[in-house]
């Protein structure tokens, strides 16, 4: 009992220390952007973009679960990076699991057993700069192009189950004719909508001056070769060949507001919205009822 209490105290101290160091670092960044930004807006924008595109905690740690240990694993070379791929099963329709930002394939492993039981093959991967894949930075386009490449390498995909940014990336990939990525059913568990909303949140967190924001968006638009306004999942969904889509979103999601999913559904009547309560943003992909709902959707 005493050992448990001591361990809890140590864990609490570590979490508090981490939070304090993170807060100090954020304040330092904010001060830097406020003071240097107006004088050197392009320089500040480049650094802010680096922060924006660099995921935290990208390396896997600890032992794999039995599910991950049972996967056949291999890496594919995509844009000079090794993308780690995991597969289960050898017959039946293929389902791809697409994780979100600062996540990894293992976080969606709870979908694997029920899908295998229903006769599906399951494919998952760690996105660039995530999990066991290499790279230092990534973005929505990167996520989407990687999804399409993984699908190509495994001989095509029938359905996708995606979470958070993985949802937006899947829709983006399906909307780009040159990627030749088409699926029958898409189950999205939370989804962003407008990129501008994400950027506005970043600007607020980093306290970026307006001049820096302008150069930030110019840099992003030059990388994407498309204007910021183009990146709206509700609009891009209309350019896909997806006919059946389930969108699950929790009303207590504090990372991506429910209103984003509601906007997607309002412009795409074929998308079925399922609103859950009390499952949040991260735990929702491990929730038994959510997993059952997704599997039932694929089976229907």
Each residue's pLDDT tens digit, 46-92:
999 999 999 987 455 567 799 999 999 999 999 999 999 999 999 99
Using CB atoms within 10 Å of the CB of residue 170, give its burial: 0 to 12 exposed, 13 to 18 middle, 19+ buried.
buried
For the chain, how many structural domains are there in total? 2
Residue 115 lies in a domain: yes
Contacts of 152 (CB under 8 A, 6+ apart): 180, 181
Same domain, 169 and 286: yes
Other CB atoms within a 10 A radius of the CB of residue 136 amount to 12
pLDDT at 134 over 80: yes
Q: Average pLDDT in the 96-113 region? A: 97
Residue 188 lies in a domain: yes
Same domain, 149 and 244: yes
Residue 64 lies in a domain: no
- Helical packing angle, 41-53 and 210-224, nearest 10°: 60
| Lowest mean pLDDT across 30-39, 159-168, 195-204, 268-277 | 30-39
Residue 240 lies in a domain: yes
Same domain, 126 and 272: yes
Q: Average pLDDT in the 4-31 region? A: 57
Same domain, 99 and 150: yes
Other CB atoms within a 10 A radius of the CB of residue 99 amount to 26
Beta sheet of 244-250, edge-to-edge order: 72-78, 81-88, 121-125, 94-98, 159-163, 185-189, 244-250, 271-276
Using pLDDT thresholds of 50, 70 and 90, give the confidence band for residue 20. Answer: very low
Q: What does the longest C-alpha to C-alpha distance in the chain come to?
A: 61
Residue 248 lies in a domain: yes
Q: What is the pTM of this model?
A: 0.90
Interatomic CA distance for residues 249 and 273, integer angstroms: 8
């Amino acid at each position: 009992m005493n050992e448990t209490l001591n361990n809890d105290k140590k864990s609490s101290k570590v979490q508090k220390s981490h939070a304090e160091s993170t807060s100090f670092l954020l304040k330092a960044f904010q001060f830097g952007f406020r003071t240097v930004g107006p004088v050197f807006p392009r320089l500040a924008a480049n650094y802010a973009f680096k922060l924006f595109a660099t995921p935290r905690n990208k390396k896997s740690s600890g032992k794999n679960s039995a599910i991950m240990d049972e996967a056949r694993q291999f890496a594919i070379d995509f844009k000079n990076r090794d993308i780690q791929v995991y597969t289960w099963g050898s017959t039946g329709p293929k389902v791809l699991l697409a994780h979100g930002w600062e996540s990894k394939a293992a976080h969606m492993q709870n979908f694997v057993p029920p899908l295998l039981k229903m006769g599906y093959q399951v494919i998952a991967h760690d996105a660039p700069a995530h999990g066991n894949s290499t790279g230092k930075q990534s973005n929505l386009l990167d996520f989407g192009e990687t999804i399409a490449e993984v699908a190509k390498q495994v001989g095509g995909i029938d359905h996708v189950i995606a979470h958070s940014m993985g949802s937006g990336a899947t829709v983006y990939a399906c909307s780009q004719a040159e990627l030749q990525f088409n699926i029958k059913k898409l189950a999205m568990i939370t989804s962003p909508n407008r990129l501008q909303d994400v950027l506005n949140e970043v600007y607020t967190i980093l306290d970026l001056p307006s001049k820096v924001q302008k150069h930030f968006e110019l840099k992003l638009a030059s990388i994407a070769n498309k204007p910021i306004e183009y990146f709206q999942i509700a609009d891009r969904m209309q350019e896909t060949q997806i006919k059946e889509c389930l969108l699950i979103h929790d009303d207590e999601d504090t990372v991506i507001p429910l209103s984003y999913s509601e906007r997607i559904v309002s412009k795409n009547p074929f998308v079925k919205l399922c609103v859950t309560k009390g499952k949040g943003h991260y735990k929702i992909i491990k929730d038994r009822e959510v997993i059952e709902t997704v599997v039932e959707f694929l089976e229907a």
